[in-house]
Amino acid sequence: MPTLALYVDYRKAYDMVWHAGLLVKLHDLGMPIALLKTTASWLGNRQAYIAFGDKVSEKYKIDIGLPQGSSLSPSLFIVYHCDLIQCLGAHSGHIFADDLSVLITATIISYLEEEGTEVCRKIAAYAKKWKQPINVQKTVAQIFYKQIKRPEIKIHMEGHQPGNS
């Protein structure tokens, strides 16, 4: 049976995680208030500065994103997007670190095109709502099919066609 795989690339995945949105999702998942406050403090009490030669800028507050290199960041990113998998319905969605893949299986190729475009529309709407932009140029659609000649499909996301692999 033909299967369409969508590999979705988030633009600056960890850097763009919206703190308020993440805290809402953690609360909705039942995180205890004390741990929620600790997480809010960990996210909100970060500052940075720029050093160039002997010049140093003023410190500025970092109010978006997850810290690069932190062992918590991949887990928090997955929690931030766990409800996306539910909104995709019956299709198989998988998140690992900052990678999202969705598998759609159907007996008819035209259904794969329609459903693939609909899934892309849902992902794009979700990404806009939760302020997590998609890099459509790095998002890939790949079809798996037993026949010798692989069918061509046209999937659309935000007015663009994801690359084919």
pLDDT tens-digit profile of 104-154? 998 888 888 899 999 999 999 999 999 999 998 899 999 888 876 666 777
Judged by DSSP in three states, 143 sits in: strand
- Strands 140-144 and 99-105 turn out to be unpaired
Q: What is the chain's alpha carbon radius of gyration, rounded to the nearest angstrom?
A: 19
Residue-wise pLDDT tens digits, 42-73: 999 888 899 999 999 999 998 899 998 899 99
pLDDT score of 160: 74
Instruction: Work out the average pLDDT over 15-32.
Output: 96
Q: What are phi and psi of 4, to 5 degrees?
A: -100, 125
**pLDDT number for residue 88:** 84
pLDDT at 12 over 80: yes
Q: Determine phi and psi for 47, rounding to 5 degrees.
A: -135, 160
Across the chain, mean pLDDT equals 89
At residue 57, the pLDDT reads 95
Q: For residue 141, what are the domain limits?
A: 3-164
Question: For the sheet containing 92-96, what is the strand order?
Answer: 92-96, 99-105, 3-9, 140-144, 163-164
pLDDT beyond 60 at 165: no
Confidence of residue 157 (pLDDT cuts 50, 70, 90): confident
CATH number at residue 71: 3.30.70
The structural domain count of the chain equals: 1
| Model pLDDT for residues 87-114, shown as the tens digit of each residue | 887 688 888 878 899 999 988 888 888 9
Give the pLDDT of residue 148.
61
Report d(CA 111, CA 103) in Å as an integer: 13
- Mean pLDDT in residue range 78-95: 86
pLDDT of residue 98: 82
Give the contacts of 134 (CB within 8 A, at least 6 positions apart): 8, 9, 10, 11, 123, 124, 127, 157, 158
